[in-house]
Structure 1
Amino acid sequence: MRTVLRSLAELSMTAGLVLAMFVGYLSWGTGEYTHRQQGDLHSELERRWNATQTRKLAASGPRRGREAAVPVAEAGQAYALIRVPKFGSSYRYAVVEGVGTADLRKGPGHYPGTAGPGQVGNMAIAGHRTTYGGPFERNGELARGDEILIDTAATTFVYRVTHRIVVRPGRTDVTAPVPGKPGRRPKKAMLTLTTCHPKFSAAYRLVVFAELAGRRARTAAA
């Protein structure tokens, strides 16, 4: 009996160690991958934005300095920048185009076909909550009135949180042009952030809704 108990205790300790190592990989290992990818994406955005500004400076006439309504990016490429002042000045994630597995490992992903920054409609973005850097880990802290900033080449779009809900994964209507009302024509610019809920589970989705409150010229610091 002692031998059996000793063996069970050793097995439990081994299993606990393996589990701890696995959790460590999920939090650190995947996060390190995303950190490297984000560095590349930020550099990609800067190159594209600098090229856009150079083209504008070379242009002439009344349209000089005007920005295209929607950023252009292929699947997996950097699309825009998301910042949340409530989470501190270091919170800056490059958003990629696409929400596939490979896309979301790089950072938050823009749902293809949804509105672009500042556009009338619903700009929807998905992101991991715990693994791969957990860009949306603190989304449960967002409350009415909190700002979410979306940066493009020349403009910062300011959205303010209106509310948040928890839904089943099948509730894809939250990313509709009018969230929760598929088929209805939108009349305002909205932003929706989706992530898993609760942490370390995909049983539900935490959804944060926001509306466009203003826009301003993007500064170099952004």
Structure 2
Amino acid sequence: MRAVRERIPVVVQHDPRGRRLAARGLWTSAELVMTLGVVLLLLVAHQLWWTNRQARAGAAHTVQALQRDWGEPAPEPAAGDEGGSGGGADEGAQGGSPAVGAGDADKGGGSSPAADTTARAPRRSQAYAVIRIPRIGLTAPVAQGISKRGVLDKGYVGHYPRTAQPGGSGNFALAGHRNTHGEPFRYINRLRRGDRITVETRDAVYTYTVDKTLDRTGAGDSGVVAAVPRSNVRPYVGYRAAGSYVTLTTCTPEFTSRYRLVVWGKLTDVRGR
């Protein structure tokens, strides 16, 4: 008879410590991913909600302080002038008539724009005016300069240095955040020809009428804030004659800073306080 060989099974024993270490590593990795996700969510909430809340509250307080200093209450917006996506501007403005030139009298009977009522240059980062744009429901302080920390991140609208002051001959050029930190210029893309922009100072209220828009240009296009504003990138867009202009600039597309969106208007009325 043949001898029967018995096969002895080989039992491989796994190290329980290795399993525990692997499980612990996976658990730690999962915790790190969760923590990172929570941190990112908090950062997004801070940027999109908290900075807006803080900046808007601070800007509103500054507007109230300016009005107290000037000794006059804030004017109430006219019916139908609240922000909206369509049809909210004055009927006369929406009728297609061109904006009145800076040297002409306003049709509504206001005084002609006058050079001797223009505001003096304020200190750097000083809030000295209030801008109101009924179409988009905006009321915000205007401060000297366009620094982020001292002006824009406070929810203010910043005045480009070395451009005209409100009501002055030349270009009263302004910048504002489109997203976060109060985002005062979030909806200036909704502005249409004929919409009103008022700028109040201690001495006068200046009314500009929206005339042209430039939906996109380069961040370095300095021509849009020149005394006679005209794009260097798209030279067929802008003006050729001297006048009293206002320029609003902000980033575009939203949540980026790659390009600039520009809105221009002409001075059409000055009313002394």
- Whether these two folds match at TM > 0.5 is yes
Task: State the 1:12 CA deviation.
Answer: 6.0
- How far residue 204 of structure 1 moved from its aligned partner, in angstroms, is 0.5
Question: 1:76 aligned to 2:125?
Answer: yes
- 1:185 to 1:69, Cα distance in 2 relative to 1, 3 A: farther
- Contact preservation (8 Å) 2:178, 2:185: yes
The 1-side partners of 2:240 and 2:69 are apart by: 32
**Which range is displaced more, 96-105 or 24-33?**
24-33
Q: CA deviation at 1:155?
A: 2.2
- Name the structure 1 match of 2:146: 99
After TM superposition, give the deviation of residue 47 of structure 1 in Å.
4.7
2:248 is matched with which residue? 193
Question: Which ranges of structure 2 fall in alignment gaps of 5 or more residues?
Answer: 1-22, 73-114, 233-238
Residues 151, 37 of structure 1: alpha-carbon distance in 2 compared, 3 angstrom cutoff: same
What is the root-mean-square deviation of aligned Cα atoms in Å? 2.9
Unaligned runs of 5+ in 1: 52-65
Q: 2:66 aligns with which of 29, 36, 45?
A: 45
TM-score by length of 2: 0.64
C-alpha offsets along residues 110-133 of structure 1, whole Å, 9 cap, x if unaligned? 111111111110000000001111
Shift of 1:101: 1.4
**1:18 pairs with 6, 23, 39, which one?**
39
Distance change (3 Å), C-alpha of 1:18 and 1:158: same
CA contact (8 A) 1:128 1:195 kept: yes
Q: 1:3 to 1:203 in 2, by over 3 A?
A: farther
% identical equivalent positions: 38
Q: Look up the match of 2:219.
A: 169
DSSP 3-state at the match of 2:219: coil
**Residues 173 and 33 of structure 1: CA distance in aligned 2, closer, same or farther (over 3 Å):** same
Q: CA offset at residue 187 of structure 1?
A: 2.3
Tell me the distance in 2 between the aligned counterparts of 1:74 and 1:24: 34
Between structures 1 and 2, the one with greater helix share: 1
CA contact 2:52–2:180 (8 Å) conserved in 1: yes
TM-score scaled by length of structure 1: 0.77
Q: Which has the larger radius of gyration?
A: 2
Q: CA deviation at 1:147?
A: 1.1
Aligned residue in 2 for 1:156: 205
Q: What do residues 45-94 of structure 1 show as CA deviations (whole Å, max 9, x unaligned)?
A: 2354249xxxxxxxxxxxxxx97421442111112110011123xx2101
Matched, 1:206 2:255: no
Q: Which amino acid aligns with 1:32?
A: R
1:86 pairs with one of 131, 135, 140: 135
